Amino acid sequence: MKKKILMTGNEAVAQGAIDAGCTFYAGYPITPQNELTAYMAVHMPGKPGIFIQAESELAAINMVYGASAAGARAMTSSSSPGISLKQEGISYIAGAELPAVIVNVMRAGPGLGNITPAQSDYFQATRGGGHGDYHLIVLAPASVQEAYDQMFLSFDLADKYRAPVMVLGDGMLGQMMEPLQLSAVSFQPSAENKKPWALTGCAGRSPNVIKSFYMDTNELEKFNLNLQKKYALIRQKEQRWEEIFLKDAKTIIVAYGSMARIARSAVHALRGKGKKVGLIRPITLWPFPEKAFTKHLTSNTRYLAVEMSYGQMLEDVQLAVGKAKVDFLGRAGGGVPSEEDIIRRVNG
Amino acid sequence: MTEKIIIAGSGGQGIMLLGKVIAETAMRENKFVTWLPAYGAEVRGGAAHCAVIISDTEIGSPLIDKADTLIAMNALSIIKFQNRIKNKGLLILNSSLIHQFKKAKVDILECPCTEIAEGLGNNKVANMVALGAYLAKKTVIPIRAAQEAINEMAPADKKALVEINIKALQEGAKSANG
């Protein structure tokens, strides 16, 4: 087993991407994710990997579009305002059915905001973000280790479904350090993960076409219906979550990412006082892990959605639980609900 | 065991590094650990602080409300963080830069970190003096492990600085043991 190393979440994402076979990174600097870009700048070139500091966020996402079309495991990263700028490109990548990984180390908004932690890009991430009927698969790591591990998963899911995957972190996770166990195995290109659709030069075969442009209305609708079929399959197969103390829980807290860590502390403190409290931590935000809720749905369970935003994940919780009562605790703009806030709300 | 430490001072005093050495050492001792910097628009001479949590069990929130220990390296950090120390918590205070500070229900350890560092020939190692004082006072992680961590953390072109840092660590411990 490899020795543990101390890393920030940002660095862990970068190292995870490299170990997961990312061979193309393009990005444009923005805090609080600059350590990610900086790490890529040092470690990507010659791996064999390409690092490009693009002239803008738009250029970076379109470079990823191109690299992915050519068959590379390609990624970009940014933080909230930068991710907004990338939306057109992300929509094109979804429309062209290309795999790509986009990392958003969220900061507080709206507008330029500031670099304090926030989860206010939940709607943007889970509802598509750009134009058109598409979804991103959205993963939300809650620790440095998970940030690393999820890079393998995100590239695999992106390739499997030929769909863009977003890893949604926040400034707290990006900046904090924790011990990290590196994977003993790194990604190896094989026959299994070949990309016969890629634009690799068509000598000896018929040309591949990658596009998101359909002149014919019927053709475009058919394409959309196929996309919807793919999303239905992802919804069915890829819901991921972690659950703690659900069996006898009278109150179930729902929180993801950094917020879930604080909720976890609250749950342990409350359990120590005999309170029947549990936690559902969505790991995929899209597809939202509805199955976690249907599994435990009882008429008298009370839910508490806790987030660093003003009722975004809350809507998915409400959709998942139907008529059950859902309370809400949220702060944004750099405000973070504390362990004590959560305990007070559960007791109150 | 869970130990929550806030380390505060000014940019350039090696506040982040002090926290990282604690975190690295704790990791080597197979503890769970989190290190969270204040990551605003920090500048040399401005305020700087970080939060380190060491535990035998998995750590939830990396944020610290009330700290078991506050290491305060300058006067401003005392003003900012004195109310974040737990009842009966420990305050390691850089008495070279903080004068005549008293607080009830807090165990105060005064250590002239900057003067000891200057005595060694480099005031930049005041942070390691503070670390030595802290580890002498609270045995959450062994001082020997911290020495090893410092040795291995030093980049190849900075190995010459290992010796003075370890000396600072030892002097800090000596000062704490009085």
Judged against a pLDDT cut of 90, whether residue B39 lies above it is answered with no
SS3 content of chain A, % helix, strand, coil (to 5): 40, 20, 40
3-state secondary structure string, A272-331? HCCCCEEEEEECEEECCCHHHHHHHCCCCCEEEEEECCCCCHHHHHHHHHCCCEEEEEEC
- Among A325, A332, A318, CA closest to A259: A332
Do residues B77 and B8 lie in contact, with contact meaning Cβ atoms separated by under 8 Å? Answer: yes
- Among A49, A129, A133, A58, CA closest to A95: A133
Judged against a pLDDT cut of 70, whether residue B150 lies above it is answered with yes
Same domain as A141, residue A248: no
Domain boundary among A180, A200, A218: A180
Do residues A183 and A45 lie in contact, with contact meaning Cβ atoms separated by under 8 Å? Answer: no
Domain boundary among A180, A214, A229: A180
- What's the pLDDT score for residue A31? 93
- Total beta-carbon pairs less than 8 A apart between chain A and chain B: 58
- What's the pLDDT score for residue B71? 98
DSSP A33: S
Q: Is B60–A339 a contact, with Cβ atoms under 8 angstroms apart?
A: yes
Q: Is A177–B20 a contact, with Cβ atoms under 8 angstroms apart?
A: yes
Same domain as A255, residue A138: no
Same domain as A124, residue A254: no
Q: Coil, helix or strand for A26?
A: strand
Instruction: Please tell me which of the candidates B23, B32, B63 has its beta carbon nearest to residue A177.
Output: B23
Same domain as A155, residue A71: yes
- What's the pLDDT score for residue B108? 97
Does the residue A227 lie in any domain? Answer: no
Does the residue A29 lie in any domain? Answer: yes
CA–CA dist A108, A90 (Å, integer): 21
Instruction: Please tell me which of the candidates A171, A178, A179 has its beta carbon nearest to residue B39.
Output: A171
Sign of the torsion formed by the C-alpha atoms of B87, B32, A168 and A257: negative
CATH number at residue A338: 3.40.50.920
Q: Which domain holds residue A78?
A: 5-180
Q: Is B60–A264 a contact, with Cβ atoms under 8 angstroms apart?
A: yes
pLDDT (average), residues B74-103: 96
- What's the pLDDT score for residue A348? 87
Does the residue A201 lie in any domain? Answer: no
What is the residue-averaged pLDDT of chain B?
Answer: 95
Residue A263 structure tokens: 């909720």
Q: B152: distance to nearest CA of chain A, Å?
A: 12
pLDDT greater at residue B45 or residue A317: A317
The residue type found at A341 is D
- Given 3.40.920.10, 3.30.70.360, 1.10.940.10, 3.40.50.1980, which CATH number is that of B2-177? 3.40.920.10
Q: Is A6–B23 a contact, with Cβ atoms under 8 angstroms apart?
A: yes
Same domain as A249, residue A156: no
Tell how many helices (H) and how many strands (E) occur in chain B. Answer: 6, 6
Tell how many helices (H) and how many strands (E) occur in chain A. Answer: 13, 14
DSSP A7: E
Domain ranges of chain B: 2-177
Residue A117 structure tokens: 């932690």
Compute the half-sphere exposure of residue A135: CA atoms within 13 Å on the CB side of its CA: 20
Stretches where chain A sits below pLDDT 50 are: none
Task: Report which listed range, A321-325, B155-159, B170-174, is most confident.
Answer: B170-174
Number of domains, chain A: 2
Contacts of A115 in chain B (CB under 8 A): 39-40
Q: Is A339–B59 a contact, with Cβ atoms under 8 angstroms apart?
A: no
Does the residue A131 lie in any domain? Answer: yes
Q: B43: distance to nearest CA of chain A, Å?
A: 15
- What's the pLDDT score for residue B41? 66
Same domain as A159, residue A261: no
Does the residue A203 lie in any domain? Answer: no
Chain A: which residues have CB within 8 Å of chain B? Answer: 4, 6, 31-32, 115-116, 171-172, 175-179, 258, 261-266, 268, 336, 338-340
CA–CA dist B178, B172 (Å, integer): 10
Burial of residue B56 (number of CB atoms within 10 Å: 0-12, 13-18, 19+):
exposed
Same domain as A278, residue A159: no
Which chain A residue has its CA at the smallest distance from B33's CA? Answer: A178
Does the residue A202 lie in any domain? Answer: no
pLDDT (average), residues B95-109: 95
Q: Is A262–B37 a contact, with Cβ atoms under 8 angstroms apart?
A: no
Judged against a pLDDT cut of 70, whether residue B86 lies above it is answered with yes
Which chain B residue has its CA at the smallest distance from A171's CA? Answer: B39
Contacts of B39 in chain A (CB under 8 A): 31-32, 115, 171, 175
Does the residue A169 lie in any domain? Answer: yes
CATH number at residue A169: 3.40.50.970
Does the residue A139 lie in any domain? Answer: yes
Q: How far is CA B23 from CA A160, A332, B17, B32, B149, in A?
A: 38, 29, 10, 9, 10
Judged against a pLDDT cut of 90, whether residue B46 lies above it is answered with no
pLDDT (average), residues B23-31: 97
